[in-house]
Amino acid sequence: MTATEIAGTLDIRPWPDPVIDVLGHDPRSHYVETYWLSVLGPSTTWLLRRLARGLETSPAGFTLSLDSTARALGLATTSSKHS
The domain spans of the chain are: 30-73
The reply to whether the predicted model has a pTM over 0.85 is no
Terminal CA-to-CA distance of the chain, rounded, Å? Answer: 19
Contact assessment for residue 10 and residue 51, using Cβ atoms and an 8 Å cutoff: no
Digit-coded pLDDT (tens) for 20-77: 989 999 999 999 999 999 999 999 999 999 999 999 999 999 999 999 999 999 997 6
Digit-coded pLDDT (tens) for 15-29: 999 999 899 999 999
The span from the CA of 20 to the CA of 14, in Å, is 12
Per-residue model confidence (pLDDT) at position 52: 96
The better pLDDT of the pair 49, 2 is held by 49
Q: 47-52 long-range CB contacts below 8 Å, 24 or more apart?
A: 47/73, 51/12, 51/27, 52/26, 52/27, 52/28
